[in-house]
Amino acid sequence: MTKLILTVDDSASMRMLLKASLTAQGFRIEGAEDGAEGLERMHEVKPDLLITDINMPKMDGFELIEAVRDVPEFRGTPILVLSTEFSDDKKARARSAGATGWITKPFDAAKLGAAIRRVCP
């Protein structure tokens, strides 16, 4: 069964890049450009995995993760953070917000695929 992934990133190029590299690996991809839209799209598409950026306008990644985890339906949905940041503080904050894992940009397509399968077989 094809896994559906929602990618939330305010950079259009990043979303396109994710889509291109992940569809090539057999995932289906939906996108949103900030946390607020991401939350909406979560309800619409109910993805198997959420990949989100941290620094975004409107609603940032931390807030998005918290909001997603507040929805009982999404309590078990794996959430990966894909960010250029990698400070321990940020990771801890993401974790306590409810993130499953953290991937630091830039990403390598194959490694990203492997990482995704690590939380979403």
Instruction: Please check whether residue 32 is in contact with residue 38, taking contact to mean a CB–CB distance below 8 angstroms.
Output: yes
Question: 21 or 28, CB closer to another protein?
Answer: 21
Instruction: Please check whether residue 18 is in contact with residue 51, taking contact to mean a CB–CB distance below 8 angstroms.
Output: yes
Question: 2 or 87, CB closer to another protein?
Answer: 87
Instruction: Please check whether residue 118 is in contact with residue 51, taking contact to mean a CB–CB distance below 8 angstroms.
Output: no
Phi-psi region of 46 (alpha: psi -120 to 50; beta: other; left: phi over 0): left
Instruction: Please check whether residue 82 is in contact with residue 49, taking contact to mean a CB–CB distance below 8 angstroms.
Output: no
**According to CB under 8 A, which one of 4, 16, 28, 66 is a site residue for another protein?**
16
Listed in sequence order, the residues at least 6 apart from 91 whose beta carbon sits closer than 8 Å to its beta carbon are: 81, 102
Instruction: Please check whether residue 8 is in contact with residue 37, taking contact to mean a CB–CB distance below 8 angstroms.
Output: yes
Q: What is the smallest separation between the CB atom of 72 and another protein, expressed in angstroms?
A: 13
Q: What is the smallest separation between the CB atom of 28 and another protein, expressed in angstroms?
A: 15
* Residue 84 is a binding residue for another protein (CB under 8 A): yes
The contact pattern for another protein, residues 23-62, with x = CB under 8 A and - = no contact, is -x---------x------------------xxx-xxxx--
Site residues, another protein (CB under 8 A) = 10-14, 16-18, 20-21, 24, 34, 53-55, 57-60, 63, 69, 75-80, 83-86, 88-89, 91-93, 95-96, 98-109, 111-112, 114-115, 117-119, 121
